[in-house]
Amino acid sequence: MSNFCELGRAVIETEGAAIQALKSRVNNSFAMACEHILHCNGRIVVLGMGKSGHIASKIAATLASTGTPAFYVHPGEAGHGDAGMITSQDVVLALSNSGETSEILTLLSLIKRLGVPLITLTGNPLSTLALAANVNLDVSVEKEACPLGLAPTSSTTATLVMGDALAIALLNARGFTKEDFALSHPSGALGRRLLLCVSELMHTGEKLPTVPSHSTVSDALVEMTKKGFGLTAVLDPEGFLCGIYTDGDLRRTLDKGLHPSTTQISHVMTTQCKTVTSHTLAVETLTLMETHKITALLVVDATNDKKLIGVVHLHDLLRSGVL
> What pLDDT was estimated at residue 321?
76
pLDDT digits (tens, 9 = 90+) for 20-66: 999 999 999 999 999 999 999 999 999 999 999 999 999 999 999 88
Is 181 among the domain residues? no
> What pLDDT was estimated at residue 149?
77
C-alpha closest to that of 18 among 200, 197, 164, 141: 141
> What pLDDT was estimated at residue 22?
96
Is 87 among the domain residues? yes
> What pLDDT was estimated at residue 2?
63
Is 37 among the domain residues? yes
Q: What is the CATH number of the domain that holds 281?
A: 3.10.580.10
pLDDT digits (tens, 9 = 90+) for 115-133: 999 999 999 999 999 999 9
Q: What is the DSSP string of 202-254?
A: -B-GGGS-EEETT-BHHHHHHHHHHH-SSEEEEE-TTS-EEEEEEHHHHHHHH
Contact between residue 201 and residue 320 where contact means Cβ atoms under 8 Å apart: yes
Choose the final residue of a domain: 176, 211, 242.
176
**CA 44 – CA 305 distance, rounded (Å):** 48
Domain count of the fold of the chain: 2
Same domain, 31 and 137: yes
> What pLDDT was estimated at residue 211?
96
Q: What is the CATH number of the domain that holds 59?
A: 3.40.50.10490
Same domain, 138 and 232: no
Same domain, 27 and 141: yes
pLDDT, averaged per 10 consecutive residues of the chain (323 residues), comes to 84 94 96 96 96 96 92 90 89 97 95 95 97 97 86 94 96 77 60 77 95 96 94 95 94 93 94 93 89 93 94 90 70
Same domain, 206 and 307: yes
Is 215 among the domain residues? yes
Same domain, 172 and 204: no
**CA 47 – CA 103 distance, rounded (Å):** 10
Same domain, 225 and 130: no
Choose the final residue of a domain: 176, 211, 230.
176
Choose the final residue of a domain: 145, 176, 207.
176
Three-state secondary structure call for residue 270 = strand
Is 13 among the domain residues? yes
Q: What is the DSSP string of 5-35?
A: HHHHHHHHHHHHHHHHHHGGG-SHHHHHHHH
> What pLDDT was estimated at residue 283?
84
Q: What is the pTM of this model?
A: 0.68
Same domain, 84 and 145: yes
Is 192 among the domain residues? no
Contacts of 231 (CB under 8 A, 6+ apart): 209, 224, 244, 245, 246, 247, 296, 298, 311
Same domain, 161 and 206: no
Is 188 among the domain residues? no
Same domain, 255 and 140: no
Is 55 among the domain residues? yes
Same domain, 152 and 206: no
Find the domain containing 80 and state its range.
2-176
Same domain, 135 and 284: no
Same domain, 288 and 164: no
Contacts of 125 (CB under 8 A, 6+ apart): 99, 136, 138, 140
Three-state secondary structure call for residue 281 = strand
